[in-house]
Amino acid sequence: MYPEALAALRCPNSPHTALELAAGARYAPDGAVLDGMLQAADGTLRSYPIRDGIIDLLGGARLPRTPAQITNYLPLTAWGYERLWRGRALTLLTGEAFGYDRELPLLRRLMQPERGGVYLDVACSNGLYARALAAATQADLLAATPPRATIIGIDHALPMLRQARAYALQHRLRITYVRACAQALPIASAAVAGVAMGGSLNEIGDRRAFFAEARRVLEPHGRLVLMHLVQAGESIGQAVQAILGTGGIEFPSLATIHAELRQAQFHPLDETQHGVVVFSAWQPT
């Protein structure tokens, strides 16, 4: 973790309880806290470890609920996610050329990270969106002063977070990674300028709880940016989605997603659809 992220972080399920870094932490040359302990600032004995630069706010309490979530706990899945699948995924899903050179500029246009502030990549997997946001706002990992944007990646699977941090270091990007749940974001209310979720909305489970948390942590003019899959319109696509649904991956209709977001007090800013893949930006009402 990087010290500038601490101002936004809170105890899990307790958004009013700040976290403090205990004495004796071990630092990397770039200023990251490699190993140490975060303590609740309310005088209780709650504490959370930092190991290899990653904050673990779940410990052993969080267990995956579906086969799709279980696979994310496998080191082989974390190793192969971007190397073998992610860069090809949107081209296969949309039926058109849709590599990172097209996807990531779209993310940056919707999020506008040049505004500065704190940005979350929730259910971040290998941290692709976190890296894209960091690259747009950070000059150098070894810069003497903190960057104008603080990037935090959140996921429930440690293997994914370990690979995400390895990629961030490889690209010299200053990103804090936290093991936490999308439905209980360990973030202060109205503290972040943007929340991104790329491709994970279909497998996180309770979308409404995530939308409510995103609404809580966003500043009044903050942005929620989503890339997700919707219900296929053709019978073959629907059959494939039905099979994937047995593993815990959901494919709601676009109208359902719109209704859930409006119920969570968001209004739309921008949206594009490419087959079953939808990119959208939303703002609190």
Is this model's pTM higher than 0.75 or not?
Answer: yes
The whole-number average pLDDT for the span 181-209 is 96
44-97, pLDDT tens digit by residue?
889 999 999 999 999 875 556 788 888 888 999 999 999 999 999 999 999 999
Average pLDDT score over residue span 139-168: 84
Domains of the chain: residue spans and CATH: 61-284 (3.40.50.150)
Q: Is the pLDDT of residue 141 over 90?
A: no
Residue 176 forms beta bridges with which residues? 152
pLDDT, residue 45, reads 85
The pLDDT of residue 134 is 96
Per-residue exposure over 71-102, b if at least 16 CB sit within 10 Å of its own CB, e if not: bbeeeebbbebbeeebeebbeebeeeebeeee
Average pLDDT, rounded, for the chain? 93
